[in-house]
C-alpha cells in the first residue's frame, strides 16, 4: 500500500502543470495455463478526454506467489510496454491519444497447467496527459 500512496499525488501534479489525468481500475483474472496470454478488462477514461498521454502509472495486485517467468505488459491500441514489477510509471505511451484505452496482458511462458494458477486481484492505471 505504501508504494502506491505516492501515485495518488500524480493527478494533483498534473493539474498544477496545466495537464489532465484519468484513473481506471478493474478486477483481475485467473490464468490456469502456461503459454496462453490473457487480457484484463479495458481501462479507459470515464469521460471523453483530449490530448496525448505523458506519464502512465500502473499497479497490479496478485493473490499468492508470482509464477517464474511471468510476463506482464501494459498495452494501448497501438503499443505495449513490459512491466518490471507490480507498480511503477512509464513514458512508453507518450504521444498516444489520451482517450485510447489500456489493458494489462498476462502470460507465463511454457506449456501445461499453472500450479498454482496466476490470480490477479486488481489492475489500476493513472494516465497523465496534456
Residue whose C-alpha cell is 471523453 = 48
| Mean predicted confidence (pLDDT) in 56-77 | 97
Indicate the domain borders of the chain: 2-129
Q: What is the rounded distance in angstroms from the CA atom of residue 60 to the CA atom of residue 79?
A: 19
β-pair partners for 33: 113
Burial class (CB in 10 A: 0-12, 13-18, 19+), 102: buried
Q: What is the rounded distance in angstroms from the CA atom of residue 120 to the CA atom of residue 8?
A: 21
pLDDT band for 3, please (50, 70, 90 cuts).
Answer: low
Question: What is the pTM assigned to this prediction?
Answer: 0.85
Paired sense of beta strands 113-129 and 87-90, if any: unpaired
Flag whether pLDDT at 15 surpasses 50: no
Q: Does domain 2-129 have CATH number 1.20.1250.20?
A: no
pLDDT value at residue 101: 98
pLDDT tens, position by position, 21-64: 999 999 999 999 999 999 999 999 999 999 999 999 999 999 99
Amino acid at each position: 500500500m505504501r508504494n502506491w500512496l505516492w501515485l495518488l499525488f500524480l493527478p494533483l501534479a498534473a493539474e498544477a502543470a496545466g495537464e489532465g489525468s484519468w484513473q481506471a481500475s478493474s478486477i483481475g483474472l485467473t490464468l490456469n495455463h502456461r503459454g496462453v496470454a490473457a487480457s484484463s478488462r479495458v481501462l479507459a477514461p470515464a469521460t471523453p478526454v483530449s490530448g496525448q498521454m505523458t506519464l502512465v502509472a500502473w499497479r497490479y495486485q496478485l493473490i499468492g506467489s508470482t509464477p517464474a517467468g511471468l510476463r506482464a505488459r501494459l498495452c494501448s491500441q497501438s503499443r505495449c510496454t513490459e512491466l518490471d514489477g507490480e507498480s511503477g510509471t512509464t513514458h512508453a505511451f507518450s504521444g498516444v491519444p489520451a482517450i485510447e484505452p489500456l489493458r494489462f496482458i498476462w502470460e507465463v511462458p511454457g506449456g501445461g497447467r499453472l500450479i498454482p494458477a496466476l490470480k490477479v486481484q486488481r489492475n489500476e492505471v493513472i494516465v497523465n496527459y496534456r
